[in-house]
Structure 1
Amino acid sequence: MRPTLPRWSGTLAVKAAAFITVMCCALAALLGVLVHVQVTDQTVGQARDQALQRLEQATERYEAGDPLRRGAAMDPPELPRQLRDLAVAGERGTMVADREGRPTMWAAGPADGGRALAVAVDYSQQARTIAGLDRAILWSSGLAIGATLLVGAFAVTRVTRRLHTTARVARRISAGDLDARVNDPRTAPRTDPPTKVPERPQDEVAAVAAALDSMASSLQGKLLAEQRFTADVAHELRTPLTGLHAAAELLPPGRPTELVRDRVAALRTLTEDLLEISRLDTGRERLELDTERLGPLAERAVRAAGNGTEVRVVRDVSVETDRRRLERVLGNLVANAHKHGRGPVVLTVDGPVVTVRDHGDGFPEYLVAHGPQRFRTEGGTRGHGLGLTIALGQAEVLGARLGFANAPDGGAVATLRLAAEAH
């Protein structure tokens, strides 16, 4: 099983803060090492030059037979062994080592008789300077990292806040709110005179916000054009269909007359469905609420459909709803089950939840995933017309949720969950 990380660890702000922290630490460490090495080399070099200079003076005094000054001696016991061996071998050298608990810069060179002439220079001040420098580097690095992290977190938070706003607006648009806009300040048109306020340049977040707003405006315009087209077509068809229906009623009885009347009736039904969809699209439908017993209401809707649907009332409740619209939803679900599925068709009332199930091939995958779509067909087969689209629209007006699924043992299942139960 793969380990899971906490949700906050995947946010852009946390990732940016971690990146800034790591880069600041790496930069501070690099600069600290460079400064430490440079100052240490300079300090050690000065102390070495001083020690070698004193060793040169001590050598001259030794060769002249003068007594050695303080700090110079022949084969002192505190002289480091490596430096002693180097001097005995005929070479001069320096080394930093402790002498009586204090750091000391030693310089040693060869003397007569295989001995070593050594000079000790106090290195305590230089060691304290380097230690103080290291502490200053650590403190300044910590302060720099903290300040940079705060500034970076502030800048990243501003960006992520704008990204979250853009994402929230995108979710609203996907949910159907086409009036939602990001309206990022950096995408707003410039209205001030050029001499007063300079134009703010657009960044990548503003470009995304502007693209999202443009997409929403374009989508809204196309949807409104489609809605107007649907409404106009439906209205234009009503007048000729009314005349066609009247003319069909005057035809003499017979099979051709029955076919004509059947097609005219189908066209009238389609026109009325288009008009109903256009009214639902405008969002101006008004509810006429009343308290109804859900079981008897479902039975009336099934009787009106006249399809021989079985009604099962597991638990009856009273709901506050628009009776006409709810009967329209249930009637369309039952009619769709008989038209596109196979019997038996069962309508079940269980509290405020109503399910309509058939035993056919089930809903297409696109319908289960995305809901009904007008006149869509799948794989060349018959589509589901406008009945489910109208049922979904009327359910939204009622404040109910209509879902579509397929039963594990076969058949389509439409589930209507009413918003509230009356007490």
Structure 2
Amino acid sequence: MSRRLPLGRPAFRRVRRLTRKTSLRTRVTLWATTVVAIAMVAAGLGLLFGLQHSMWRDRDSTGRQRLSDVTSLVRHDRLGSLIPSSGGDDDVVEVLDHHGKVRASSDFDTRPGSPSGFPNPLPPRVLAGHPTTLHDLGVGDGGDFRVLARPIRVDGRPATIVVGVSLAQAEHTLSSLTTGLAIGVPALTALVAWTISLTAGRTLRPVETLRRQAAEITATDLHRRLDLPACQDEVHALGVTLNDMLTRLDDASVAQRRFVADAAHELRSPLTALRAQLEVMSSYPDPDRDPQMAATLLEDTVRLHDLVEGLLALARSEDPARPRSQAARVIDLDEVVLAEVRRQHSLARADIDARRVSGGRVRGDAEALRCVIRNLLDNARRHAGHQVRVALSERGGTVELTVSDDGSGIPDADRLRVFERFTRLDEARSREAGGSGLGLAIVGKVVTAHGGTVHAEKDPAPEAGGLGGARLVVRLPAVPSSG
């Protein structure tokens, strides 16, 4: 027997795998129909048992009443050989002597002294006064009876009053009800299954429409949108969500294509210049001119290197799968700022004021944040007239870094656009003066990845304590102090 138990497990797994392979409509129909069928079977059984209990209780009440009537006859010495009828023919009453012979009966055909149709001896439960169902008795019309008994003394001798109430009518009622339930429950279950399947099919039809339309959309037609159902329900909300996702994918695809086109354009210019100058040097060597041209080539190569490094940094900042192994490091941002200021001093034609740099601790990638500060300082010194100011402070759980210059500033209409790729303002259209147009885009991506924000604004006028040019503000979450 123990070897047979595991056999059910693979079978159960096969049933589960088979269920998983069926359609959602079929699964919903099966589960819902099973629940309804179990509920109807439970209700049917409850009805049967409840009706049986009610009928048995009514017959027990009839039996107790007959016991009381016959007991009253015995106590008033009015018991004859024929016990008066109760007006019905579904109960049989007998008074038995201690040998089990009939002394009195409610049946005309049962004579005193004849054997009783009840068991002799009676079951102990019956003698204890508990109503009991006895089957195939030979009293009355025969059959099943609810039997009650009560010991008594008649003429000073022990006797027993036995009452049997026929169950024929009750069993016929229960049998008819059982037959009706046996036919009705499967029929009703089939009707419920058909209704659920039809309803589930109609409910899932809009989902299938959305699925079919979504399957037809390819990478070349992301501008298409799904047809939304008229009803404002969950399926409509699903369609709206899918359309929003398609919008985001379309925007990302457009941005990617624009990025590739811009990058190719930006890379083509210095490569073309390098090629032309190298062709001139190869075709027309000139010892007096070559050193000067070599310096120009070096400058173009440096610019090309900076552009490639910017593209690489931007790609890394947008890569969601990039490991964040250093993201949990706590960084003293003031040390990074001051180190970059010292490096920029040798490059800047403008004075860099870092006296307002105070402590500030953040959590993140040190190299990425160093790139942010370097790009901010590069941008400021490129546009500054004479002075650049750097400030760092921490308050209210936020570290704020500001880089200001005394240049012409950024127009209101361009303060968001400057953080897009390859954006150069009118004054910086020259690649030599304006850089690659990737620096602030990298700043925006890295700061956002660190949970911060960055924006451009107008620095206060000199008489108000500012420099009057552009002011770039970076805010990052501060690391709570352990003390």
TM-score category, normalised to shorter length:
0.3 to 0.5
Report which of the two structures shows the higher radius of gyration computed on alpha carbons: 2
TM-score (norm. length: structure 2): 0.42
Alignment TM-score, normalising by the size of structure 1: 0.48
